[in-house]
Structure 1
Amino acid sequence: MLLAFDVGNTNIVLGVFKDGELIQNWRLETDNNKSADEYGMVINQLFTYEGLETREVKDVIISTVVPSILYTLQHLSMKYFHKRAIVIGPGIKTGLIVKYDNPKQVGADRIVNAVAAYAKYGGPLIVIDFGTATTFCAITENAEYLGGTIAPGVKIASDALFEKTAKLPKVELEEPGHAICKNTIESMQSGLVYGHMGMVEYITKKMKKELADLTKSGKEVTVVATGGLASLIEQGIDCIDHVDKMLTLEGLQLIYQKNKGHKK
């Protein structure tokens, strides 16, 4: 079995693959203060609850945008699974040609998403990840990762309204059903959710045009969304073709296949 870690600023998503198939996944809170032992005990309990054996884990792969937690997970991998983890970063084979000015600056999650989306849907392609930040990535039909856009996520915007104003409350992130709202909570929900929908539509439209100018075959651009809030935002817009919640984990499994036997 393969144990995959997708570490974001807010959550860690874990996935277990057997013979290339995702058989179980969990979501934990990202906590820089947790030790390898604390994470190890939680994972042990999750495995036990699902009837899985930790000794069957043959390899571990990690994608993280939180550098401070990487050592913790590497230590966990050695102590609890007796494996040196594969870490997404420079030198890892992905199958993509990264055209970013400085490839080292591209977030690991963005590359992993692009690998999975290109393998499943082909290019040209736009991948939108609704995480702590909302990221947009453009990939050509020739597997060239061009770059994209990074915007504040819906939760960041919600937290900012609460923290930077005297009277506005915290609200649940859900669609209120109308834009002319008669109370503060729905007014905030409207601004947060519909505002994000509008941003996504505009950026996607602009990126599609730029990608189309580079696509010699004339093939249409496919738009794939992932991340915790993808379904909420996708409900109100027409520019997303596929919502794929397990995209990052599947990308980790694909990258593992390209790199197993070549650990750094």
Structure 2
Amino acid sequence: MLLAIDMGNTQTGLGLFDGDALAYAWRMPTDRSFTADELHVRLLGYLHMYGLSLDCIDTVAFAGVVPQLSREWEQAARRITERTIAVGSATAQVTKLRAPNPAEVGADRIANAVAAETCYGAPAIVVDFGTATNIDVVDEDGYYIGGAIAPGLRISMDALVARAARIASIPLDVPERAIGRTTTEAVQSGAILGTAAMVEGLVARIRRELEAPEACVIATGGLAGLVANATDAFDVVDQQLTLKGIAEIARRMGMFESAE
């Protein structure tokens, strides 16, 4: 089985693939203080939840945006198997990028582009709701060509609460209307409906630039489901898109085989 690891700035997603199927998935905090030992113990715990052991893992593939934690994960992975690979320069031959500075493109964005083309076709637009809200664009030939990066929904909310003395922490719920009748509703409208409106506007502009009005729009990331309830901009909500992209890259590198 293949263990795919998506290390974000706030959360880390883990997925265990059996052939094409994502058999198990977990999420954990991204803590920069974690050592390889701590990661090893946590992974053991997740596997034991389902009666599994480290012996079931023969390949580990990961994409990370936190360099120091990537090194710790690599050490933890090599305790399990020598078949490990990180999305990036080592996998460039099996990914398609049309970017002025390919080294600047985050590994998670590369994985999203690969998964979007593989699972949903091209052209495609991926909106990833994480620490940042990333929009990744795949052209008609399946190449990642760029996108947009905006502050994530939680970052925006945290900043508002920290700077506005009269606003306490407010739950992230989709309001019934854009005109908030209370402070809570007004903040929810600005944060959630505002994020949805931003996505709608950027998706419309990107489709025009691509000259592809029917380009598939995929939402992923921890808050994808929440924002999807506030807009009809998305054709698909796929919470595991990044993990699927990591697994696909490992397959293309010949490190993992699809089910027949």
**TM-score (normalizing by structure 1):** 0.92
- Off by >3 Å, runs of 4+ in structure 1: 93-96
Question: How big is the shift at 1:247?
Answer: 0.7
Question: How big is the shift at 1:189?
Answer: 1.2
Determine if contact 2:192/2:230 at 8 Å carries over to the other structure: no
- Distance in 1 between residues matched to 2:171 and 2:40, nearest whole Å: 32
- Report the counterpart of residue 231 of structure 1 in structure 2: 225
What code does the residue aligned with 2:153 have? V
What code does the residue aligned with 1:63 have? A
Question: How big is the shift at 1:231?
Answer: 1.5
Q: Determine helix, strand or coil for the equivalent of 2:89.
A: coil
Question: How big is the shift at 1:95?
Answer: 4.2
What code does the residue aligned with 1:86 have? I
1:163-182 correspondence runs (5 A) = 163-182=162-181
Gap change, CA 1:97 and 1:19, over 3 Å in 2:
closer
- Report the counterpart of residue 48 of structure 2 in structure 1: 48
Question: How big is the shift at 1:261?
Answer: 4.9
- Report the counterpart of residue 252 of structure 1 in structure 2: 246
Gap change, CA 1:99 and 1:170, over 3 Å in 2:
same
- Report the counterpart of residue 120 of structure 1 in structure 2: 119
Farther-moved stretch of structure 1 (183-192 vs 142-151): 183-192
Q: Determine helix, strand or coil for the equivalent of 1:257.
A: helix
- Distance in 1 between residues matched to 2:50 and 2:2, nearest whole Å: 15
- Distance in 1 between residues matched to 2:177 and 2:94, nearest whole Å: 44
- Report the counterpart of residue 16 of structure 1 in structure 2: 16
- Report the counterpart of residue 33 of structure 2 in structure 1: 33
- Distance in 1 between residues matched to 2:93 and 2:156, nearest whole Å: 33
- Distance in 2 between residues matched to 1:93 and 1:251, nearest whole Å: 14
Question: How big is the shift at 1:184?
Answer: 2.1
- Distance in 1 between residues matched to 2:57 and 2:245, nearest whole Å: 18
Q: Which blocks of at least 5 consecutive residues in structure 1 are unaligned?
A: none
- Distance in 1 between residues matched to 2:2 and 2:81, nearest whole Å: 13
**TM-score (normalizing by structure 2):** 0.93
Query: Percent identity between the aligned chains?
Result: 38
- Distance in 2 between residues matched to 1:204 and 1:130, nearest whole Å: 14
Q: Determine helix, strand or coil for the equivalent of 1:92.
A: helix
Gap change, CA 1:94 and 1:187, over 3 Å in 2:
farther
- Distance in 2 between residues matched to 1:94 and 1:131, nearest whole Å: 27
- Distance in 1 between residues matched to 2:109 and 2:237, nearest whole Å: 16
Question: How big is the shift at 1:101?
Answer: 1.2
Q: Which blocks of at least 5 consecutive residues in structure 2 are unaligned?
A: none
Determine if contact 2:57/2:81 at 8 Å carries over to the other structure: no
Question: How big is the shift at 1:178?
Answer: 1.9
- Distance in 2 between residues matched to 1:196 and 1:94, nearest whole Å: 35
Determine if contact 1:224/1:244 at 8 Å carries over to the other structure: yes
Determine if contact 2:129/2:219 at 8 Å carries over to the other structure: yes
Question: How big is the shift at 1:52?
Answer: 1.1
- Report the counterpart of residue 90 of structure 1 in structure 2: 89
Question: How big is the shift at 1:84?
Answer: 5.1
- Distance in 1 between residues matched to 2:95 and 2:200, nearest whole Å: 26
Farther-moved stretch of structure 1 (239-248 vs 179-188): 179-188
- Distance in 2 between residues matched to 1:240 and 1:56, nearest whole Å: 36
- Distance in 2 between residues matched to 1:251 and 1:205, nearest whole Å: 25
Gap change, CA 1:220 and 1:181, over 3 Å in 2:
closer
Deviations 1:164-218 (A, max 9, x none): 2222111211112122223322221111001101100000000000011xx6xxx
Q: Determine helix, strand or coil for the equivalent of 2:9.
A: coil
- Report the counterpart of residue 77 of structure 1 in structure 2: 77
Determine if contact 1:196/1:233 at 8 Å carries over to the other structure: yes
- Distance in 1 between residues matched to 2:180 and 2:145, nearest whole Å: 40
